[in-house]
Amino acid sequence: MNAMDSHKNGLPFLKMHGLGNDFVIIDARDAENPVTAAMARAIGHRYFGVGFDQLAVLTTSDVADVDVAFWNSDGSTAGACGNASRCIGRLLIDETGKASVSLRTERGILPVVDVDGDVVSVNMGQPQLDWREVPLARDVDLNALPIDGEPGAAGMGNPHCVFVVDDVDAVDLAKVGPIYEHHELFPERTNVEYIQILDRENIRMRVWERGGMITLACGSGACAVAVVAHQKGLTERKVTIHLEGGPLDIDWRDDGVWMTGATQLVFSGVLSSDFLDTIK
């Protein structure tokens, strides 16, 4: 990751995306982690900063190839980010020449495996299917929440609320997304996914991510969608999720939910010292 070497004037970063789900990545393995909530908000602004769906900060690890912390653009933290994990895995595979690497996140230690070119797979671990772990406010049926439309719920290191509808394009996601993100049943808020079952191996998905945005893709959301759809008896355990930004292959195996898809390095850059000085 030569583009992320230390820089005496400002802070180096990389911009990557997985299916249009975009990330700023800061490598703090050789320096003190500089990121605060205020910095995440400033960098995340798409007009006054760089803009991202999530910010990932890499630090040294004694149990994995790297420790990773995730931030949302509103300055809140995220326990998991599947597409960013794939992007970071791609960087580390290229950096080390290894066929597989491991990331320690709040979700646990996630293995990332090289597939072909820019395509990688990450094991996002087993879904959280106990109401306390999602988490929910009380004990309810996770396959049919007491919410209009009877959505399903699953945790993938962050909470997900999944609605099955006949036509995802007919959903006013900007209107309903924030309503369910802040529903009282989700004490830590939730990501909101709307899905359309195409057949038992294909799902169309749109997503509102916790933190207040519609995104073109959500890796942990795609994993949760595959779990909920199977739990509802609608699909097999191995499916392709068709997102706004492209397809993700999800395979719920005995050892966890594996997600496979493309990654893209877009550019490297340096946050100027003048910009960093404006952050309070």
Residue with structure tokens 């877009």?
Answer: 266
Q: Are 16 and 31 in contact (CB under 8 A)?
A: no
Task: Single out the residue of 142, 181, 159 nearest to residue 151, CA to CA.
Answer: 142
Contacts of 176 (CB under 8 A, 6+ apart): 192, 208
Catalytic residue positions, numbered = 81, 218
40: left (phi over 0), alpha (psi -120 to 50) or beta: alpha
Between CA 149 and CA 170 the distance in angstroms is 15
- CB half-sphere exposure, 201, CA atoms < 13 A: 2
Please report the beta strands in 79-118, taking only residues with DSSP state E, as ranges in sequence order: 100-105, 108-116
Residue 81 CA, distance from chain mean position = 3
